[in-house]
A and B are shown apart, each in its own frame.
Chain A
Amino acid sequence: MAIRRGRGVAAINYPTGMNLGGDPTQALVHSTPTGNFMVTLSSVDLGQGMKQIMAQICAETIGVPTDRVVVDTADTDTGPHCMGTFASRGTHRAGNAVIQAAREARQVMLEVAAEELEVNASDLETDGQGNILVKGAPQKSISIFDVALSAHFKRGRSISGRGMFLIPRSYPEKETGAMKPSTCYAHACTVAEVEVDDETGEVTVLTVKNVFEIGRALNPKMVEQQLVGGSWMGISHALYETTEPYYPNRDHGGTDFNQYLMPGPGDLAETEIIVLERPSADGPYGAKGPGEMCANPQIPAVANAVFDAVGVRIDTLPITPERILRALKAQAPN
Chain B
Amino acid sequence: MAKVPVQFTLNGAEKAEFIDSGTTLLHALRDKIGDTSPKGGCHQGTCGACSVIIDGELRLSCLTLAETCNGATIATTTGLAEGGVLHPLQCAFLDAFATQCGFCTPGMIMAAKVLLDQTPNPSREDVVEALSGNICRCTGYEPIIQAVLSAARSNSQNAA
Interface size on B, residues (CB 8 A): 26
Residues of A within 8 A of B134 (CB): 264-265
B141 and A264 form a contact (CB under 8 A): yes
Residues of A within 8 A of B100 (CB): 47-49, 225-226, 229
Determine how close the nearest CB of chain B comes to the CB of A212; give it in whole angstroms. 14
B143 at the A interface (CB under 8 A): yes
Q: Mark A17-28, 1 if CB is under 8 A from B, else 0.
A: 000000000000
Interface size on A, residues (CB 8 A): 24
A268 at the B interface (CB under 8 A): yes
Residue of B whose beta carbon sits closest to that of A222: B97
Q: In the bound complex, how far is the Cα of B42 from the Cα of A257, in angstroms?
A: 8
Determine how close the nearest CB of chain A comes to the CB of B100; give it in whole angstroms. 4
B102 and A47 form a contact (CB under 8 A): yes
A262 at the B interface (CB under 8 A): yes
B142 and A228 form a contact (CB under 8 A): yes
Q: Which one of B12-20, B78-86, B125-133 is at the A interface?
A: B125-133
Residue of A whose beta carbon sits closest to that of B99: A47
> Which residues in chain A, 222-246, are within 8 Å of chain B measured between CB atoms?
222, 224-226, 228-233
A257 and B47 form a contact (CB under 8 A): yes
A156 at the B interface (CB under 8 A): no
> Which residues in chain A, 190-230, are within 8 Å of chain B measured between CB atoms?
221-222, 224-226, 228-230
Q: In the bound complex, how far is the Cα of B138 from the Cα of A224, in angstroms?
A: 12
B34 at the A interface (CB under 8 A): no
Residue of A whose beta carbon sits closest to that of B43: A256
Give 12 pairs: A residue, B residue, CB < 8 Å, sorted on A. Answer: A47-B100, A47-B102, A47-B138, A229-B143, A230-B140, A232-B141, A233-B137, A256-B42, A257-B42, A265-B127, A265-B134, A266-B128
B residues in contact (CB < 8 Å) with A: 42, 44, 46-47, 97, 99-102, 127-129, 131-135, 137-145
Further contacts, 8 of them, CB under 8 A, given A222-B97, A230-B140, A271-B142: A47-B99, A48-B100, A221-B97, A232-B141, A233-B140, A264-B133, A266-B128, A268-B142
